[in-house]
């Protein structure tokens, strides 16, 4: 796995939408119930029950998206004591949930700091150039459409799942797909773990192509232990949706600046012609 840290691809204006999305993700995460305490190390059963109830109301649930039926009982957020000990209380839902709208709210929910920071890093590096090419309004619509495509694509493949689907990964995967179409030759600084983190500058087609292949491998359950908790299939669908939506803009996209005298992050030796 490579970690992107910067791309050599300047923008013409300020990516206001990209910054706004990052800020919204951070603010929502900070106010999500049950997460602040768990990050500080003092999370308890009450916080877990509160978080379960919150996610059930605002996260996207594949069963609900496909069958459009809400469950009869959901976590209420309260803690109760039963024959098996303390646990989260369930009861009839006290809210009227729209499965379609839950896809939008789920785009701003994250399950932990690593989840949030990883999405933020990819959106910050690649989102600014895609927004610069599309414009602010079109980029905002593009981001939401990719998020919906990723969520519904995953739900179609897992229509019996009642697990909450949260995170901006599907929408950001669409941004990566668009970047690959628009700027395949742009150089990206990455850190490659090999004993130590080696800084290399690689073409975007290699970095993002490798990322996409990994999602396919991980979605099959190979090479990763958390394949059941990460929606890799949503990443794949979002990436493909981003490529398709960005394809009409490819012909008019100016190429990124090509650094001279540098190869894979190191200065190449001069070549002499005879």
Give 14-45 pLDDT, tens digit per residue: 999 999 999 999 999 998 886 644 444 445 77
Coarse DSSP helix, strand, coil percentages of the chain, rounded to the nearest 5 percent:
50, 15, 30
pLDDT at residue 211 greater than cutoff 80:
yes
More confident residue, 114 or 46: 114
Q: Taking the CB of residue 36, how many other CB atoms lie within 10 A of it? A: 14
Average confidence (pLDDT) over 251-262: 74
Question: What backbone phi and psi angles, to 5 degrees, belong to 91?
Answer: -170, 180
**What does pTM read for this prediction?**
0.87
Question: For tokens 């690689």, what's the residue?
Answer: 202
User: Containing H/E element for 165?
Assistant: none
pLDDT at 34: 66
Which residues fall within 8 angstroms of residue 140, CB to CB, at 6 or more apart? 17
Strands 262-263, 85-91: pairing is unpaired
Q: Taking the CB of residue 102, how many other CB atoms lie within 10 A of it? A: 23
How would residue 84 be classed by pLDDT, with cut points 50, 70 and 90? low
Q: What is the DSSP letter of 248?
A: G
How would residue 226 be classed by pLDDT, with cut points 50, 70 and 90? low
pLDDT at residue 69 greater than cutoff 60:
yes
User: How does pLDDT run across 51-60, given as a tens digit for each residue?
Assistant: 888 898 899 9
Average confidence (pLDDT) over 73-97: 77
**Cα 7 from Cα 133, distance rounded (Å):** 15
Average confidence (pLDDT) over 183-197: 88
- Please state the domain extents for the chain: 3-255
Q: Considering only 91-100, 126-135, 255-264, which range has the smallest mean pLDDT?
A: 255-264
More confident residue, 90 or 271: 90
Indicate the CATH number of 3-255 among 3.40.630.10, 1.20.1540.10, 3.50.50.60, 3.10.450.50: 1.20.1540.10
User: How does pLDDT run across 123-171, given as a tens digit for each residue?
Assistant: 999 999 999 999 999 999 999 999 999 999 999 999 999 899 999 999 9
As to burial, measured by CB atoms within 10 angstroms (0-12 exposed, 13-18 middle, 19+ buried), residue 127 is buried
User: Containing H/E element for 233?
Assistant: helix 232-246
Strands 266-267, 74-82: pairing is unpaired
């Amino acid at each position: 796995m490579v970690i992107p840290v910067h791309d050599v691809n300047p923008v013409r204006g300020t990516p206001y939408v990209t910054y706004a999305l990052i800020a919204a993700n951070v603010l929502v995460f900070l106010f999500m119930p049950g997460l602040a305490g768990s990050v500080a190390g003092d999370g308890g059963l009450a916080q877990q029950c509160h978080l379960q109830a919150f996610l059930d109301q605002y996260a996207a649930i594949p069963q609900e998206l496909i069958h459009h039926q809400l469950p009869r009982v959901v976590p209420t957020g309260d803690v109760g004591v039963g024959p098996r000990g303390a646990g989260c209380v369930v009861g009839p839902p006290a809210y009227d949930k729209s499965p379609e709208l839950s896809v939008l709210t789920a785009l701003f929910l994250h399950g932990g700091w690593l989840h949030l920071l990883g999405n933020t890093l990819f959106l910050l590096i690649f989102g600014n150039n895609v927004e610069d090419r599309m414009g602010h309004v079109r980029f905002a619509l593009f981001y939401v459409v990719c998020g919906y495509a990723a969520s519904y694509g995953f739900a179609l493949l897992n229509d019996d799942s009642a697990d909450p689907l949260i995170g901006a990964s599907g929408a950001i995967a669409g941004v990566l797909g668009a970047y690959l179409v628009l700027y395949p030759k742009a150089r990206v600084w990455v850190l490659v773990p090999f004993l130590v983190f080696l800084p290399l500058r690689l073409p975007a087609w290699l970095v993002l192509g490798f990322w996409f292949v990994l999602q396919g491998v991980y979605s099959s359950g190979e090479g990763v232990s958390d394949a059941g908790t990460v929606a890799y299939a949503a990443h794949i669908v979002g990436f493909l949706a981003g490529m398709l939506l960005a394809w009409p803009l490819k012909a008019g996209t100016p190429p990124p600046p090509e650094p001279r005298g540098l190869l894979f992050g190191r200065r190449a030796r001069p070549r002499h012609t005879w």
